[in-house]
Amino acid sequence: MRIERLGAFDAARTYAMVNVAMFDAVNGINRRQHKSDLAHALVPPFGAPARANRKAAAAAAAHAVLSALYPDQVSTYDDQLDVHLNRLRGRGRIARGVAWGEYVGDQVVTLRANDGTSPPETQPGGSGPGEFRADFGAAAFRNMTPFAIADPLAYVSAGTPALTSPEYLAAHTEVRLLGDVAYANPTYDEVFNFWKAGGGSVRPPGEWIKIAIVVAGDQGTVRNLSKTSQLFALLSMALADASISVVHDKFTYHFWRPATAIREASTDGNPDTVEDVNWNPRNGSIGGSPEHTSGQS
């Protein structure tokens, strides 16, 4: 994510594809070895080997997805796969696990190839009161085929408050005062610095993954490969599917970011909002997508 400098929605889709592939690779072997009846996420378990190394399968599945999505990084992925496989024992089981994992990863890539995220779509920026100013380059994600939920549009918001409403005034005032970079507050700075997750980072979906890694470690879940792979598949699918309703709202309402709203408050038709042409956001970024709905929150 860092090297490719993915956007937040692209990152969420990638996390989901990788973790789904790892889960389905592990789950397929579980179905053969332990007669598990746990449903697959995307790839059915048909053809899974009974005597195969599940860790090898998970690693190979992740490798297959990442190599297909980001071919310029294949040598890095190859090296990382070798590191994982060299820690394992049982050449036959490893080989069967790798073959199955590669198959599952390839299937995930194929099944998601036409999921509505390509070709990219850009929504032009606006210029009027309440309108997001820059081009929004991730508009296609509102049409993405969900990983798990039946209807992502069931979760869209009711929209933004009117610029002249008390609700808008309250939000405008709160952000202007508490989100101002000039307002010294170490606690707020720490929160903002954690969640801003800009280009070259794991992005906000990756921060949730990092949180889950810590929680899974604290709870001992990581000692169980089946539960761990299921946890991260479910989490990453939820993050990806949440992106659909988020981008739908961003595209539909095309609402301006706080920096624009505060610097141009005299144009919003609300006599009670305060304009500050020198206002800058605490996290240092004006924002690359329309403000509503927030992807981070």
Long-range pairs for 79-88 at CB < 8 Å and ≥24 separation?
Answer: 84/55, 84/56, 84/59, 85/56, 85/59, 88/53, 88/55, 88/56
Residue-wise pLDDT for 274-287, tens only, equals 999 999 998 777 88
Residue-wise pLDDT for 151-190, tens only, equals 999 999 999 999 999 999 999 999 999 999 999 999 988 8
pTM over 0.85: yes
User: For residue 283, what pLDDT is reported?
Assistant: 76
DSSP state of 72: G
User: For residue 194, what pLDDT is reported?
Assistant: 81
Residue 33's φ and ψ, nearest 5 degrees, are -75, -40
- Helix ranges (DSSP H) in the chain: 8-33, 54-69, 74-85, 91-111, 166-178, 186-196, 203-219, 225-253, 258-263
Would you write out the chain's pLDDT as a tens digit for each of its 297 residues? 667 788 899 999 999 999 999 999 999 999 988 877 889 999 999 999 999 999 999 999 999 999 999 999 999 999 999 999 999 999 999 999 999 999 999 999 999 999 999 999 999 999 999 999 999 999 999 999 999 999 999 999 999 999 999 999 999 999 999 999 999 999 988 888 888 777 778 888 999 999 999 999 999 888 999 999 999 999 999 999 999 999 999 999 999 999 999 999 999 999 999 999 999 998 777 888 999 998 866
Contact by Cβ (8 Å): 117, 144: yes
User: For residue 168, what pLDDT is reported?
Assistant: 99
